[in-house]
Amino acid sequence: MIQTSEDAIRVIIADDHDLLRYGLATFFETCDDLHLVGEARTGLEAVELCDRLKPDVVLMDLVMPEMDGEAATRIIRDKHPDTQVIILTSFEDEERVYASIQAGAISYLLKNLSIEAVAAAVRAAHAGKSTLSQEATQALININHRPSPPDYQLTSREYEVLCLMVEGLSNLEIGQRMYISTSTVKKHIGNILAKLNTSSRTEAAVIAVRDGLVKT
């Protein structure tokens, strides 16, 4: 096994399919920056492992015994806000996508992705960046479609920041793009989250796409 560095991204895989877990685990062994610290076959096991191991990222299936992935994601994010959860599933229906993001998942991927793409999403999640499959993005656009977006009373600068949040840019990258300080970016994001009535950057991006505030 390749020796992992101390600062490698610590990952848990939660999926009741042994073959998928084995495939991901085998691939992670070849990555110096990804370190698999645990595997779970149920949502409940995933919660218990997170309590004990404090991983950086969890790859979470949605349909599992004892506790589904959505419930497990909500519990993990409530108890361990520094742990990012990526939904990795075969389901692309709109309700599951939106519910998963509301539960706190940073990304939503389908299992038809290449294993390299999954690894890239893990790295992105660790950096605080969301990755959505094309199908998930379309589902978010379709769900609860409204003829005209509600008025959240965003300022022009807040709207610009929101657009860059939807693109997945970090606070530093937003500041560089807009030529403003990181502290100013954080202030704008705080205002945006308050006006959209959410505490999650990812859900703010979902609301922006869902309600037609931002074109993708």
Cβ contacts of 141 within 8 Å, gap of 6 or more: 209, 210, 216
CATH topology of domain 156-210: Arc Repressor Mutant, subunit A (1.10.10)
Q: Looking at the predicted structure, is the pLDDT value of residue 4 above 60?
A: no
Residues 94-149 have pLDDT tens digits of: 778 888 998 999 999 999 999 999 999 999 999 999 999 888 888 777 765 545 66
Give dist(CA 46, CA 52) in Å, integer. Answer: 10
pLDDT band at 216 (very low <50, low <70, confident <90, very high): low
Helix segments in 29-132, DSSP class H: 43-53, 69-79, 94-103, 115-126
Query: Each residue of 199-216: b (16+ CB within 10 Å) or e?
Result: ebbbbbbbbbbbbebbee
Superfamily (CATH H level) for 9-142: Response regulator (3.40.50.2300)
CB 164 within 8 A of CB 173: yes
Q: Looking at the predicted structure, is the pLDDT value of residue 45 above 80?
A: yes
User: Domain spans of the chain?
Assistant: 9-142, 156-210
Q: What is the DSSP letter of 168?
A: T
Residues 142-186 have pLDDT tens digits of: 765 545 667 889 998 999 999 999 998 999 999 999 999 999 999
DSSP assignment of 174-198: HHHHHT--HHHHHHHHHHHHHHTT-
Residues 184-213 have pLDDT tens digits of: 999 999 999 999 999 899 899 989 988 878
Joined together, the tokens standing for residue 41 give 């076959």
